[in-house]
Amino acid sequence: MIDVESPSDTQPDAQRFTQDGVVWDVVVVGATPGGIACAVRAAREGLRVLIVSRYVHLGGMLSNGLGVMDTLFDGRRAPLYDEVCDRILDHYRTAFGPESEQYTQRAPGPREYSSRRLKFEPHVGEKVLNDILAGESLITVLKPYHPFAVERAERRLGAVHVRQVHGDDVRRVAARVFVDATYEGDLAALAGVPYRVGREGRQEHGEPHAGRIFCNQFLTPDDYGLFPREAAAGRLNLRPYRGVTQQLFAGSTGEGDGAIQAYNWRLSQTSDPENSRYPEEPDGYDRGRYVDYLSTPPSLRPQIGTLPGVNHAYPCGDLETRESIEKAHRDYTLGFLYFLQNDEAVPAEERARARGRGLAKNEFTDNDNWPWEIYVREARRIWGRYTFTEHDGTLAPGLERAPIHEDAIAIAEWPMDSHACTTETRLDSMPDGKILLSELTRPSQVPYRCLLPEDVDNLLVPVCLSATHVGWGTLRLEPVWMHVGESVGHAIALAAELDTTPGELSGDLLQRRLVERGVMVSFFNDLDMATDALWVPAVQYLGTKGFFASYDAQPAAPLLAGEAHEWARAAGELLAGAGDANSRARMVWRNDQPGDQTRQGDIGTTTAGFVRMLTATMASQEQITSRVEEAVEACLLELDASLSRGDACRLIYHVLSQ
């Protein structure tokens, strides 16, 4: 990685941005974790990458106090995300020892506790990401700069113009492909990509929890997770979550508006007296802003520093507007901390508890121990070639899994949620917009189309991707963005190899590349991407094509005759370019019920038997017999042997790839 921080031409690498004719393979605007994952993957595939960062410190919320990996899935999902997690754990293991409190407090704990996810300090998150970038000679970072104009001709961007933050230096940066990895969707907006800000109405997509909504929330005691109940019962390979949205209140009209969920500063605090300091009374402090907090029931108290509504102008605001909003949140948060730690109206026990934690002096050392970035939970969301809605994150009708997408490039599994969007409440309700759909949400597939603007072919948007406000809740997490970002890096590299654009790239070819490179595109209870079995890529791929109606792959189980007929029929449809994945999965599910009379006495099929089914189903396809025979030989299968579900997937995968 090459850093370029100064606009001075005395730095040799600064010339690389001003010479006419210099064209990068990829320009990534936004040094968020998703942007970094995209850049690193593209560089490791041999592409020259420029990252443009608004901030001097890289890493987005992983470097700015988030402190936890917001995922309920403990398995392997994507190589770069897994590498980051491994490096974080290795840091604490090496620095303090595997038996140390520092390591055990941050390593994932028992699965039944939703809170025992991977945790880390901001400086460790930043160090890990910087160390990864430092190993990539094909990546250059330009900071602190932000985009202010683009050059576009029809369906392609040619260059982006960036300006130094609080400076006068301007650069023109040309590239073959651009990636908007900002939390705000700034590059996409400059490129003229349509976007949405705020909440859709309930009727727009038929989402039960869309728009204006008031509800309450149940929290299980002692952070013991219980939702979804399938996870708590061990039938879903996720950590259960302790909270869930319950009843709706009057006034939940579902009307759409421009409201977005609240932001806040994610502070890094410590109880170590040698490493903590307490904020002094801030300028303009007004204790009257905080006294109502004491009369609010603990379950309804706002997160410290959360100001619903104050951030509504942030997504489309200029830097001055955004910095003003950030300052308003900072002033309020500092005042709140001072109030809790010092005001005599605060009960002594609560005041002592607040004084038990101060700002960590070893964090954000060049910024008065304050994060460099505010937590932008929601801003613009592009109008893409597909819009991810609440329905995409819940069980599909007639299936035991969420809707299937034939162009899936990643998974999501965090409960769809939203922090408060306004301060308005109903009696005993949480503020308007606060929801947590942990019982309804199920692991979902993220379509490639969500990242693609409708009318630009060389721009990808892996962070502010196309989703409704409710659907956004399961996508807006750093593990998902890193997962998606790595898939984008692969898409750019594959498009370069094929001399096409990411927007014109075959989703099928991209999926094959992803599953063969260890990137998950389908969630299953019984496998992750660390499994080295030969059937893993095939099962992952066919999980996006309708061969599995539930989250159980059962690759080692015998392929029963009834299942074999449906899989052969589905394979024939795929080869002919007919049908759709969800219809195939419903047909598989109807013929895969344990109590179904058609399954009584059903026995496993042999490789030869399945070959006959495939050949018969695909009889209209030219040279199908030789294609199937070649697949059997390539997979090293014995014709008279019993065929497992995993090996059947391998056979189908090979037939379809020819």
Residue 536, helix vs strand vs coil: helix
Residue 598 has pLDDT above 50, yes or no: no
Give residue 217's pLDDT band: very low, low, confident or very high (50, 70, 90): confident
Whole-angstrom distance, CA of residue 115 vs CA of residue 112: 9
The pLDDT score that the predictor gives to residue 600 is: 45
Residues near 118 by beta carbon (within 8 Å), at least 6 away in sequence:
68, 69, 85, 88, 89, 106, 107, 108
Is 348 within 8 Å of 298 (Cβ atoms)? no
- Nearest partner of 133 among 24, 23, 35, judged by Cα: 35
Q: Is the bond preceding 228 in cis, omega lying within 30 degrees of 0? A: yes
pLDDT tens digits, one per residue of 241-252: 999 998 899 999
Residues facing residue 524 across a β-bridge: 527
pLDDT digit string (tens) for 379-404? 999 999 999 999 999 999 999 999 99
Tokens linked to 148? 């202010």
Q: What are the CA-CA distances from residue 555 to residues 374, 535, 543, 605, 647 (Å)?
A: 45, 8, 12, 14, 8
Domains and CATH numbers, the chain: 2-196 (3.50.50.60), 269-360 (no CATH), 531-658 (no CATH)
Helices (H), 280-401: 319-342, 348-355
Tell me the C-alpha distance between 22 and 423, whole Å.
50
The per-residue pLDDT for range 477-510, each reduced to its tens digit, is 999 999 999 999 999 999 999 999 999 999 999 9
> For 106-138, what is each residue's pLDDT tens digit?
999 988 888 889 999 999 999 999 999 999 999
pTM over 0.85? The answer is yes
Q: Which residue's entry shows tokens 């140390």? A: 100
333 CB-near residues (< 8 Å, 6+ apart): 264, 265, 267, 304, 305
pLDDT more than 90, % of the chain: 85
Q: What is the pLDDT, as a whole number, of residue 13?
A: 46
The answer to whether 108 and 116 have CB atoms below 8 angstroms apart is yes
Q: Which pLDDT score, from 0 to 100, does residue 602 have?
A: 66
The DSSP secondary structure of 600-617, one letter per residue, reads TT--B-BHHHHHHHHHHH
pLDDT in tens, 153-182: 999 999 999 999 999 999 999 999 999 999
Confidence of residue 621 (pLDDT cuts 50, 70, 90): low
628 close to 614: Cβ distance less than 8 angstroms:
yes
**Stretch (H or E) spanning 215:** strand 215-219
Structure confidence at residue 10 (pLDDT): 37
pLDDT of residue 228: 95
Tokens encoding 362: 């070893």
CB atoms within 10 A of CB 99: 8
CA 295/CA 273 separation, integer angstroms: 30
